[in-house]
Amino acid sequence: MFYHDKRLQYKVRVDKPNPAFARMLQQAIGGVEGEIRVCLQYLFQAWGSRGPVKYRDMLLETGTEEMAHIEMLATAVALNLEGAPASLKDEFAKDKMVGAILGGMDPRHILSSGQSAMAVDANGVPFNGSWIVGTGNIAANMMANVHAEASGRVLATRLWEMTDDPGMKDFLAFLIARDTMHQNQWLAVLEELGGFSGQLPIPNSFPQSEEVQGFNYSFVSTNISGDSQAMGRWSEGPSIDGKGEFKFVKAEPLGGEPQLGPPDPRGHAQKEEMTGNTGGISGLVDKVKDALD
């Protein structure tokens, strides 16, 4: 069950409405780096969480906080759109070029939402649920969460740079601060589980003796000229998990050439594809049909 407090988590103030900036803020709502993504990611991880209850509770509380961030961003979009023209005709009359691009604003903020935020990114592309990561493996989830918060913080800092509005800068600085905490929060979970290196490779429950040995700690160079510069911490010395030694190896083909069978006649390939070297189309088709019977 979820409850709502009508007061915002942090103040949202817009001193000078800017419809173009409202469109940019949409990326922080419905983009791949946005708050809908982290909100649903943390909640779905929580709803499927097994094991110690504290991890479920933590994810639930943080996912719920992210709802508050969506609410604040939606409020910021609405306040910035209060300066949007009620009539596109008026904009065209002022300046044809400005009218053509609406000063950078999204026309759907007028046509579809009535000067309100939408569950879309800055280009109007709807939020995509396939971006949500919930693996059922807590270490894999925490790694995904660190990435989500890192990319979200990058976006928030770019938005901060793109506005001169004091209210928007203050609000974005709050979101940036929360991203700082959440990055550290997810890394703290990994540390509590035994340290970053102790969780590798994920899942650490799979016996590494079953891996094809010799490939689990080798950097494979696919540079055919042999002058690769891709050498560093990952190509020599002890592995990050302390369970192997990195090495640099040149790629080589070990699998031979693939040999595929003839086309299934029920798939209706071209006649020429089905001829092969068997002495004619009809003979090959009969052989394939016999094999399928």
Residues in binding site for Ca(2+)? 57, 226
Residue pair 171/12 in contact (Cβ under 8 Å)? The answer is yes
N-to-C CA span, the chain? 56
- Measured CA to CA, the distance from residue 257 to residue 97 in angstroms comes to 58
Rounded to the nearest 10°, the torsion over CA 280, 283, 285, 287 is -140
Q: How far apart are CA 118 and CA 156, in angstroms?
A: 18
DSSP one-letter code for 221? E
Binding residues for Mn(2+): 35, 66, 69, 149, 182
The DSSP letter of residue 16 is S
| Annotated binding-site positions | 35, 57, 66, 69, 149, 182, 226
Helices (H), the chain: 19-30, 35-47, 53-80, 88-94, 96-101, 108-111, 138-161, 166-192, 271-275, 281-292
